[in-house]
């Protein structure tokens, strides 16, 4: 029944480690996103994929690498984690075309780097 | 200048009050606006979207766009403690598929 799901919900890890966050949507949307929400609750786009192709790549360190195995999944891999990567990461999806731009968000993954 | 700017609050109101949440936007080229509600430790949830001037109602919520002043508002009538959350306005840039979000206004409705 869940529209956009993410795993894990919480992730605590040490600096220097590599970790992945997974996202799946069952809404049939073509476009998926990763957002980062910092401690001040500001939501900022990181990446956007449309039909498995990268269409937006904001100024994000290349330690972050998104991968979309199919249009229902968008994973985020982070290498060499740093303290400043601690944040909540949200996956979202949206329909394409039809003049619609609303996005549907997952529950978030709270990443803490120690 | 940011695409959308929002008063971060926080805002506290008594139960039953009418709440007004506001954003301003800078780019008039693409007129499509959204309001999201985010409960603590949850993902943003789409409340309403609108792309025209005037009002759009959904139950106790009304979204209003004033294109002449580049102002968007969300009104909540008969506010309830369950409305306590952070409210974010959002707008896509011209033709693109991502969203620019305001900083969010944290609302607390006191019983």
- Residues of chain A neighbouring B36 (CB-CB closer than 8 A): 105
Higher pLDDT: B53 or A11? It is A11
Residue B61 has pLDDT above 90, yes or no: yes
User: Out of A101, A102, A105, whose CB is closest to B43?
Assistant: A105
- B residues 9-48 lying closer than 8 A (beta carbon) to A: 32, 34, 36, 38, 41-46
DSSP B16-74: T--EEEEEEES-TTS--EEEEEE-TTS--EEEEEE-SSEEEEETTEEEEEETTTTEEEE
Q: Which of A25, A43, A88 to mutate to test the interface with B (most CBs of B within 10 A)?
A: A43
What pLDDT digit, counting tens, does each position of A21-72 carry? 999 999 999 899 999 998 888 898 898 888 878 877 777 899 999 999 998 9
Question: What is the Cβ-side half-sphere exposure of residue A45, based on CA atoms within 13 angstroms?
Answer: 23
What pLDDT digit, counting tens, does each position of B24-57 carry? 988 777 778 999 999 999 999 999 988 877 888 9
Q: What is the pLDDT of residue B7?
A: 85
* Gap between the terminal Cα atoms of chain A: 34
Reported as a pLDDT band with limits 50, 70 and 90, residue A1 is: low
Residue A17 in tokens:
């480690």
A with B: how many residue pairs have Cβ under 8 Å apart? 55
B33 CA to chain A: closest CA distance, Å? Answer: 9
B92 CA to chain A: closest CA distance, Å? Answer: 7
Q: What is the pLDDT of residue B1?
A: 64
Q: What is the pLDDT of residue A40?
A: 81
Mean predicted lDDT score pLDDT of chain A: 91
Residue A84: DSSP 8-state? G
Pairwise CB contact (< 8 Å): B98 & A45 = yes
Beta bridge partners of B11: B107
Is the dihedral angle over the CA atoms B39, B74, A91, B9 positive or is it negative?
Answer: negative
- Is A56 part of the contact surface with chain B (CB cutoff 8 Å)? yes
What pLDDT digit, counting tens, does each position of B69-99 carry? 889 999 999 999 999 999 999 988 766 667 8
- Residues of chain B neighbouring A40 (CB-CB closer than 8 A): 103
Q: What is the pLDDT of residue B93?
A: 73
Reported as a pLDDT band with limits 50, 70 and 90, residue A109 is: very high
Q: What is the pLDDT of residue B96?
A: 63
- Is B87 part of the contact surface with chain A (CB cutoff 8 Å)? no
Q: What is the pLDDT of residue B95?
A: 60
B107 touches B83 (CB < 8 A): yes
A13: helix, coil or strand?
strand
The rounded percent of chain A whose pLDDT value lies above 90 is 68
User: Tokens 């025209």 identify what position?
Assistant: B52
Higher pLDDT: A110 or A97? It is A110
Largest CA distance in chain B: 43
Which region holds residue B54: left if phi is over 0, alpha if psi is between -120 and 50, else beta?
Answer: left
């Amino acid at each position: 029944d869940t529209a956009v799901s993410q795993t894990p919900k919480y992730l605590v890890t040490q600096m220097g480690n590599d970790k992945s966050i997974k996202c799946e949507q069952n809404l049939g949307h073509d476009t998926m996103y990763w957002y980062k929400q910092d401690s001040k609750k500001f939501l900022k786009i990181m990446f956007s994929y449309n039909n498995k192709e990268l269409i937006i790549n904001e100024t994000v360190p290349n330690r972050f690498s998104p991968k979309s195995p199919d249009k229902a999944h968008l994973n985020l891999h982070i290498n060499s984690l740093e303290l400043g990567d601690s944040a909540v990461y949200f996956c979202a999806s949206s329909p394409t075309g039809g003049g619609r731009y609303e996005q549907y968000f997952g529950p978030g993954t709270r990443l803490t780097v120690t | 200048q940011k695409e959308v700017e929002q008063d971060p609050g926080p805002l506290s109101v008594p139960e039953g009050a009418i709440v007004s949440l506001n954003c301003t936007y800078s780019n008039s080229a693409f007129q499509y606006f959204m309001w999201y509600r985010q409960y603590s430790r949850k993902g943003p949830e789409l409340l309403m979207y609108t792309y025209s001037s005037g009002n759009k109602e959904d139950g106790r919520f009304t979204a209003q766009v004033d294109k002449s002043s580049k102002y968007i508002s969300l009104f909540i009538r008969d506010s309830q403690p369950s409305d306590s959350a952070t409210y974010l306005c959002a707008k896509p840039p011209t033709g693109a598929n991502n969203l620019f979000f305001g900083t969010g206004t944290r609302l607390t409705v006191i019983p």
